[in-house]
Amino acid sequence: MAEGRTFGQRADQDDWPSRRRFPTFSSATHGGARLTQLSPETPRSRSVLIVDPSDESREVLRTVLERRGVSILEARRGAEGLKILQNQHPDVTVVDLEADQDGSGSLVIAYHNASASEETSLVMLGRVSAAPTSRDGSQVISKPYHYGPLIRTIEQLLERH
């Protein structure tokens, strides 16, 4: 065991407080009322929409991303996810193409169009046979996929926002 470490402490825990980003607040008094707001240097909350028919896949992604401070929106079906995308405007949308119930490929086109108009990055999981013209921020990840590279892709897209 390394010197200075307590039993059971991992090496990556040494700098834990310096890696966490806690919001900072500023206070002011205005007309007798105390106003508290986030300071300008505090980053806004990042959000990811996960559209996947698999409860397990949504749970794994939700758990990992929430631990990293990301707000999560979820949908089981493609049409439900499109409504959330248009109403909530997430930074990144992850769509498992198995959520396309009719298998026509219309889901791919609908998500491409909606994500372009909402300025959200799009990650499609599965095989896309006739994808619309690719644009910046759009990724296709073949199945089967590993969660590690998928999480890194999502984090890289979040950094762009």
Domain count, the chain: 1
Q: What's the pLDDT score for residue 127? A: 75
Any domain includes 147 = yes
Give the tens place of pLDDT for each residue, 34-44: 444 444 444 55
Kindly report the pTM of this predicted structure: 0.68
Any domain includes 94 = yes
Any domain includes 77 = yes
Give the tens place of pLDDT for each residue, 39-71: 444 455 799 999 999 999 999 999 999 999 999
Any domain includes 63 = yes
Residues 6+ apart with CB under 8 A from 119: 89
Q: What is the CATH number of the domain that holds 84?
A: 3.40.50.2300
Any domain includes 154 = yes
Any domain includes 6 = no
Query: Amino acid identity, residue 67?
Result: R
C-beta of residue 161 within 8 angstroms of C-beta of residue 46: yes
Q: Using alpha carbons, select from 93, 70, 68 the residue that is nearest to residue 82.
A: 93
Any domain includes 13 = no
> 114: domain range?
47-160
Any domain includes 5 = no
Residues 6+ apart with CB under 8 A from 156: none
d(CA 161, CA 150) in angstroms, rounded, equals: 17
d(CA 134, CA 54) in angstroms, rounded, equals: 26
